[in-house]
């Protein structure tokens, strides 16, 4: 199961976000708290900072090997800082059909859009579903697709459906995307559990989506995700929340993801993650299945909006 971490707030050393904390993203690739599998299929990040030579563009890094074996980490990470970050460690099946290459490491970024994307999810049978979905994809994005992952194809489809970059327009594009996927599944008789746990990020915004459908293509999926761990692991992972932490003074906690908890309107930083990253998990807001969360930098503070996604 992939791991995702997105951050927005004051400029911070990347090592405070990726390597120093005990439950850092890189450590999760070797020893995730909530999942038993290693993430060996690569990792990457996209970062914005006013201190970069091109502050309006994300600095992108990908490496198609286990994050904890990446010999570039000690040389690169300590020299960088970021005010917005999207990072990802990739899990995949360990067989000859899995292509481990830079092109398949998240996050994905295309020219002509401010958004980059990473996912902790899966679209089964996506190559066959393309028979129905390609007609909704714009050539300007298809021409930039270089890898062989479902996430990059979903990125193409989502960007093609976006009519603008407002929260309402992004929400509508995600709803339309799942509707088209479900239509294609029905037409091709390919209904399958589909997990869309997506982070969509630009320099001043993080959008987290926890959405999808069940084994028969149903979107009104319910259940106790923790109890389902023993009886239906895929359904459990579909229903599992994503998590958001809001607070102040994150820069004062160099070796952890702790923050000073404060009223929502006073928060200066936010993290979106696959799992709560601090011992006090009660400080983390759950992004439940069927919802979308919008985190936006407004001056020195971070606003948060949560909406239900319509099936």
pLDDT tens column, 201-259: 999 999 999 999 999 999 999 999 999 999 999 999 999 999 999 999 998 888 889 99
Check pLDDT > 80 for residue 101.
no
Check pLDDT > 60 for residue 11.
yes
Structural domains of the chain ordered from first start: 3-308 (3.60.20.10)
CA 86, CA 47: separation in Å to the nearest integer?
7
Residues near 58 by Cβ (< 8 Å), separated by ≥ 6? 46, 47, 48, 84, 86, 109, 116, 203
Residues near 165 by Cβ (< 8 Å), separated by ≥ 6? 114, 115, 202
pLDDT of 52-85, one tens digit each? 999 999 999 998 777 677 778 888 888 999 999 9
Q: Supply the pTM of this predicted model.
A: 0.92
Query: In this predicted structure, what is the pLDDT of residue 96?
Result: 47
Which tokens hold the place of 34? 């909530």
* Radius of gyration of the chain, Cα coordinates, nearest whole angstrom: 18
Residues near 305 by Cβ (< 8 Å), separated by ≥ 6? 167, 293, 294, 296
In the chain, % of residues over pLDDT 90: 69
Please state the separation of Cα 83 from the chain's center in Å. 17
What's the sign of the alpha-carbon dihedral 88, 91, 96, 98?
Answer: negative
**Scanning the structure block, which residue is given the tokens 């970059």?**
165
More confident residue, 124 or 3: 124
H or E stretch at 181: helix 167-188
Check pLDDT > 60 for residue 39.
no
Mean pLDDT of the chain: 90
CA 41, CA 101: separation in Å to the nearest integer?
9
Check pLDDT > 60 for residue 279.
yes
Residue 205 Ramachandran class (φ > 0 left, ψ -120 to 50 alpha, else beta): beta
Residues near 239 by Cβ (< 8 Å), separated by ≥ 6? 221, 222, 223, 224, 225, 228, 289
More confident residue, 261 or 84: 84
What angle, 0 to 180 degrees and rounded to 10, lies between the N-to-C axes of helices 167-188 and 126-133?
A: 110
């Amino acid at each position: 199961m992939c791991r995702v971490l997105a951050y927005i707030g004051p400029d911070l050393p990347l090592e405070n976000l990726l390597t120093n904390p005990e439950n850092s993203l890189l450590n999760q690739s070797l020893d995730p708290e909530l999942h038993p599998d290693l993430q060996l299929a690569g990792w990457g990040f996209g970062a914005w900072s006013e201190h970069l030579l091109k502050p309006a563009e994300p600095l992108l890094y990908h490496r198609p090997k286990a994050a904890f074996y990446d010999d570039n980490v000690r040389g690169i990470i300590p020299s960088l800082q970021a005010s917005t970050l999207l990072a990802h460690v990739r899990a995949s099946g360990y067989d000859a059909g899995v292509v481990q290459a830079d092109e398949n490491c998240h996050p994905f970024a295309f020219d002509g859009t401010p958004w980059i994307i990473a996912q902790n999810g899966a679209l089964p049978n996506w190559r066959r579903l393309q028979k129905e979905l390609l007609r909704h994809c714009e050539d300007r994005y298809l021409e930039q697709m270089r890898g062989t992952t479902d996430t990059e194809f979903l990125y193409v489809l989502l960007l093609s459906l976006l009519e603008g970059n407002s929260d309402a327009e992004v929400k509508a594009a995600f709803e339309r995307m799942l509707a088209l996927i479900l239509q294609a599944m029905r037409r091709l008789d390919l209904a399958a559990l589909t997990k869309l746990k997506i982070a969509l990020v630009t320099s001043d915004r993080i959008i987290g989506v926890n959405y999808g459908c069940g084994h028969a293509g149903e979107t009104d999926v319910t259940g106790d995700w923790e109890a389902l761990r023993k009886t239906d692991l895929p359904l459990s992972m579909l229903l599992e929340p994503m998590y958001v932490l809001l607070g102040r003074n994150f820069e004062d906690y160099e070796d952890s993801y702790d923050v000073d908890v404060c009223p929502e309107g006073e928060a200066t930083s936010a993290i979106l993650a696959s799992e709560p990253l601090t011992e006090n998990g009660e400080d983390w807001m759950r992004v439940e299945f069927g919802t979308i969360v919008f985190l936006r930098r407004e001056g020195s503070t971070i606003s948060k909006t949560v909406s239900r996604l319509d099936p």
